[in-house]
């Protein structure tokens, strides 16, 4: 199967390389064929060199691949004339309809836990962020904002029935899969339906879809109350589904509860295309210093393998994904993964090497 690889900017190059190395090793150990990589230049660096944020034909090649893997895009020092950063990945979301932004949030043993309550060790949720509409609708295609001179700017928040129905069905389907693995089987619609008509519409569609999944509990929460609950009792959350901007904010908040953005894996899935990336940025302050935590990218690689397994029906891809997930779990449990991001002594290369060792060993929870 072919993967469109966009390493992008800053630490994106390093963490993408780490993820591809671990994915390749897991596939070998699972008896699966190697992936074919089609590397595409895109990002702020590409824009600075060529005046284009993605190489000619790059979008078409990305759409033709079986999946897209992205390292990181954007550099604060390189911007459009209106002050916004270079962001071709937003256009890829829009073009390929990548409506389901899946952000797993899980606590690992020996990783930082920001809450003192021992129940924080059980945090295991998914924030499902609609990724093509909402308040990001104006940003997806550069120029949609209504700029009225130097006095006013208006950005449009868009919610459509077609996309929202697919999103909510995806949420309930995801909760059903998680329930089969022992999770509660509950979807919470996070919105601001008490203030905005768009959010009331989002909730209305949720309530129409929920009865189609009688085995899954349905709940509601206003976004401000949900932010409070993520601090007060995040271990109670299962699948939280929400509009784009709300998801952007709450997924970062939740990521902070389990260590930081270096653990924030992400899948963006549409009807025919999936894009996988760590949810962190390009971190220009640590470029070239071997300090980036590659685990978000590595776990995004596991999400990609799960996606390919569903797409192709090849169980060896799912086995490879599980091997990676077990390796990360075992590495933390044995205190063998100590990223610099968490105050540890292991940089990008050392963390990657340890995950590769655990993947090769079968990721048994070793302590030796």
Would you please indicate which residues are annotated as catalytic (active-site) residues?
137, 192, 224, 248, 252
Cβ burial, residue 145 (10 Å; 0-12/13-18/19+): middle
Nearest Cα neighbor of 309 from 22, 37, 35, 98 is: 35
Distance linking the first and last C-alpha atoms of the chain: 37
Helix%, strand%, coil% for the chain, nearest 5: 45, 20, 35
Tell me the pairing of strands 146-148 and 152-154.
antiparallel
Q: DSSP letter string over 73-128?
A: --BTTBB-TTSPBP-HHHHHHHHHT--EEEEEEE--TTS--SS-SGGGGG-EEEEE
Considering only CA atoms, which of 6, 8, 11, 92 is closest in space to residue 261?
11
Distances (CA, A) of 42 to 20, 71, 84, 136, 297: 18, 10, 16, 20, 17
Helix (H, G, I), strand (E, B) or coil at 217: strand
The DSSP letter of residue 215 is T
CB of 164 closer than 8 Å to CB of 202:
yes
Residue 234, helix vs strand vs coil: helix
**Nearest CA to 93 among 242, 275, 305?**
275
Which residue matches tokens 């401000």?
A: 224
């Amino acid at each position: 199967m072919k993967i469109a690889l966009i390493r992008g900017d800053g630490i994106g190059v390093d963490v993408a390389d780490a993820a591809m190395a671990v994915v390749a090793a897991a596939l070998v150990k699972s008896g699966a064929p190697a992936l074919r990589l089609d590397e595409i230049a895109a990002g702020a660096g590409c824009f600075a060199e060529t005046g284009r944020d993605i190489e000619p034909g790059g979008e078409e090649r990305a759409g033709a691949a079986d999946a897209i893997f992205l390292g990181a895009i954007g550099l604060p020092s390189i911007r459009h004339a209106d002050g916004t950063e270079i962001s071709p990945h937003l256009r890829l979301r829009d073009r390929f309809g990548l409506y389901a932004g899946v952000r797993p949030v899980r606590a690992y043993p020996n990783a930082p836990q920001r809450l003192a309550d021992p129940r924080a060790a059980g945090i295991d949720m998914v924030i499902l962020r609609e990724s093509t509409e909402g308040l990001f609708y104006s940003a997806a295609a550069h120029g949609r904002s209504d700029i009225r001179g130097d006095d006013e700017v208006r950005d449009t928040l868009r919610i459509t029935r077609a996309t929202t129905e697919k999103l909510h069905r995806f949420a309930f389907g995801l909760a059903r899969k998680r329930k089969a693995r022992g999770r509660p089987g509950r979807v919470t619609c996070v919105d601001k339906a008490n203030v905005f008509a768009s959010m009331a519409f989002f909730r209305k569609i949720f309530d129409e879809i929920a009865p189609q999944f009688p085995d899954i509990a349905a709940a509601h929460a206003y976004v401000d109350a949900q932010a409070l609950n993520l601090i007060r009792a995040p271990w109670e959350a299962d699948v939280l589904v929400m509009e784009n901007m709300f998801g952007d904010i709450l997924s970062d908040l939740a990521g902070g509860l389990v260590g930081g953005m270096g653990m924030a894996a992400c899948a963006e899935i549409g009807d025919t295309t999936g894009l996988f990336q760590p949810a962190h940025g390009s971190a220009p302050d640590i470029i070239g210093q071997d300090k980036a935590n590659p685990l978000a990218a590595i776990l995004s690689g596991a999400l990609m393998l799960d996606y390919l397994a569903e797409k192709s029906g090849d169980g060896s891809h799912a086995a490879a994904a599980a091997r990676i997930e077990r390796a990360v779990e075992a590495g933390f449990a044995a205190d063998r993964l100590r990223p610099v991001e968490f105050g540890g002594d292991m940089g990008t290369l050392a963390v990657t090497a340890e995950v590769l060792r655990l993947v090769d060993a079968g990721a048994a929870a070793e302590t030796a």
